[in-house]
A = this chain, B = another copy of it.
Amino acid sequence: MQKPKIDAVNDFVVKFANVNGSGSASANTLFAKSIFRSGVPVAPRNIFPSNIQGLPTWYEVRVSEQGYLAKRAGGVDLMVSVNPQSLLDDVQEVRTGGYFLYDDTRPLDIRAIRKDINYLGVPLTEITNREYEDARLRQLFKNVIYIGALAALLDIELSVYDKLIEEQFAKKPKLVKPNCDALRLGYDAAKERFDCPLPVRVEQRDLVDGKIMMTGNSACGLGAVYAGATVAAWYPITPSTSVAEAFEKYASQLRYDAEKDEKNYVVIQAEDELAAFGMVIGANWNGARAFTATSGPGVSLMTEFLGLAYFAEVPAVLIDVQRAGPSTGMPTRTQQGDILSCVYASHGDTRHVCLFPADPKECFELTVAAFDAAERLQTPIILLTDLDVGMNDCLCDDLEWSDSYQHDRGKVMDADQLEALEKFGRYRDIDGDFIPYRTLPGTHPEKGAFFTRGTSRDEDAIYTEKGDAYQRNMERLLAKWFSAPDYLPAPKIVTASDSSEIGIIHYGTSRDAVTEAVDQLSADGIAADTLQIMAIPFHDAVRKFIDSHEYVFVVDQNRDAQMRTVLINELDCDPAKLRSVLHYDGTPLSADAVLTWLRPNIPGLAEQSRME
């Protein structure tokens, strides 16, 4: 009996099963990059344990000519198995007709034999033992060797790799040749053994012009540099650590005066998240753009300070790279579980502006927007990303910048303005926009000094326990909240060509899965419109979108339908109208998962749409 063989050009999933701490990451990235360089859209994802060495780790690469970047459900087409620990599980993940590349130096465990998949044995250990003396080198080059084998199997140009390796080791040119050699060892081994290429393979295209590959965390870090942030105060926590690291990396390249040995920025590793946010508040109070990056547990610890910044109206930027679960949860898995705790963080009546980027480009842009909004609105802005976009190399459009961009520094009175003023009142609403003027310490010898505090005060920042003054202030804060959308990015609406009664609301990293799901629905003859929420509080367009669709779905990567809750609460809309699409097992969202929730909930519509 002929075994089934998946046949797919530029549309498949390769997954690498490795042991963490074994140096596989850079080889795997090389592979993903080679697809990108072949002009084909690619979406790699690192699935790693909360541990440093010795546990299973995977790298899943989706290759998609159509440009679908969400995780694909339904198994992998080609598994590269380099970890005996997880091998028995890994083999089950291969789709019927798929391929299983493994190290056949020793015979395969009999329990791993399936009739419906194709085995590709490459004697990785034998080759490395033969070629290298040093144990460390053996391990390292084993990774490069299987990449070489893949090049042959999937028909990727070796020259693409050579170039990538050259770039990678630009500063250590001695390493170029050994790597290229190792690559060829694998390439030749595959050619020797198999009928190359496989039916699953890559064909050169031109589909990624104008695109880059970058992690969301790098983009946030770079965004903070472009936003003119000068103070980053943070505390290490997965998956946000690389935000501060990226800021430091870019800033050290772009803002360091080597001659004077001086930096136009400072990165402070705080003693904890409370301190990190306190520093951000102190620096912003003093007129510097300052931010922190953290994840859920850090946000919980910043809760008290968030209330202070809200109430005292001090700008602040907080980047929350969300991970899975309450408490410590699953620190290396993704989720959108902090929506409620961010929007309503802190005791008392508080509401915080939140932004939701979906890809690195949006991370870059919304980070800049966050600083502008923070100073304009004099309030903390929380940028919510997640592990999926934050830590994976994501394909997205080139970053853009205009040199004519004017950073919005908000309403800060300088010495001249103060001089011209009869009496300064910190919390007076002079312009009728609910936003008062602030002053920075040290501005004017006589005017503009005031006391910033978390206690109630009147319009002139004088402490008071008078109920009416307190209430006036709280009403102004609420009015400011309702006016905030004017300063925030508008939602992105994609309308189907056919008019549709179905509207799907999503935010952050759900975008790609939703887009793909909508395409699939459309292939079934069902049109759906989508709206990507960019910010809370919501633009009026969000309400209109809900009102103008009969069936509205809200996609939440959490258990409790948190964005749906906020929509209902902020827009006072009927819960009956908002159906949930929920996904919260820590894995990235796939189009399949979205469709599983959508299909049974479009009553009668499937037929109806088809008839139109």
User: Which chain A residues have a beta carbon within 8 Å of chain B's beta carbons?
Assistant: 49-50, 295-297, 299-301, 303-304, 307-308, 310-312, 322, 324-333, 335, 337-338, 340-341, 344-351, 453-456, 465, 467-468, 470-471, 474-475, 478, 558-560, 562, 565, 568-569, 572-576, 584-587
A327-B312 in contact (CB<8A): yes
Instruction: List the number of copies, as a whole number.
Output: 2
Query: What are 12 A-to-B residue pairs whose CB atoms are below 8 Å?
Result: A300-B307, A301-B304, A325-B348, A326-B346, A326-B347, A330-B465, A333-B465, A335-B348, A338-B348, A349-B560, A474-B584, A572-B576
Closest B residue to A351 by beta carbon equals B560
Query: A605–B515 Cα gap in the complex (Å)?
Result: 50
The residue in chain B whose Cβ has the minimal distance to the Cβ of A471 is: B585
Contacts of A584 in B (CB 8 A): 349, 471, 474
Q: B576 touching A478 by the CB < 8 A rule?
A: no
Contacts of A569 in B (CB 8 A): 565, 568-569, 575
Chain B residues, CB < 8 A from A467: 333, 585-587
Residue of B nearest to A328 (CB): B454
- Whether A330 lies near B297 (C-beta < 8 A) is no
Contact A455 B330 (CB under 8 A): yes
> What residues of chain B lie closer than 8 Å to A307, measured between beta carbons?
297, 300, 326-327
Are A347's CB and B471's CB within 8 A? no
A349 in complex: contacting residue of B301, B332, B558, B587, CB < 8 Å: B558
CA distance A455 to B456 in the complex (A): 39
In the assembled complex, which residues on chain B have CB atoms less than 8 Å from the CB atom of A572? 575-576
Task: List 4 tightest A-B contacts by C-beta distance, closest first.
Answer: A296-B347, A327-B454, A467-B585, A326-B348
- Cβ–Cβ < 8 Å partners of A50 in chain B: 455, 465
Q: State in angstroms the CA–CA spacing of A585 and B322 once bound together.
A: 36
The distance from the CB of A52 to the nearest CB of chain B, in whole angstroms, is 14
Asked if A350 and B326 sit within 8 Å, CB to CB, the answer is yes
By CB atoms of chain B within 10 A, which of A50, A300, A304, A327 has the most? A327
Residues of B within 8 A of A346 (CB): 300, 326-327, 341
Residue of B329, B337, B338 near A456 (CB, 8 A) is B329
Q: Which residues of B contact A568 (CB under 8 A)?
A: 568-569, 575
Closest residue of chain B to A294 (Cβ to Cβ) is B347
List 12 other contacts, CB 8 Å, given A300-B346, A310-B327, A348-B558: A300-B307, A301-B304, A311-B327, A326-B349, A326-B454, A328-B454, A333-B470, A340-B344, A471-B585, A572-B575, A574-B574, A574-B576
- Report the separation of the CA atoms of residues A13 and B416 in the bound assembly, to the nearest whole angstrom: 53
Q: Are A304 and B300 in contact (CB under 8 A)?
A: yes
Bound together, the chains give a CA A151 to CA B585 distance in angstroms of: 70
Most buried by B among A296, A350, A562: A350
**B-side contacts of A311, CB under 8 Å:** 325-327, 329
CB-based contact A329/B454 at 8 Å: yes
User: What's the nearest-Cβ distance from chain B to residue A508, in Å?
Assistant: 15
Contact A327–B308 (Cβ < 8 Å)? yes
In Å, the complex CA distance between A329 and B453 comes to 9
Contact present for B349 and A345 (CB under 8 Å):
no
The answer to whether B330 touches A456 (Cβ under 8 A) is yes
Contact A347–B297 (Cβ < 8 Å) = yes
A537 to chain B: closest CB distance in Å?
A: 12
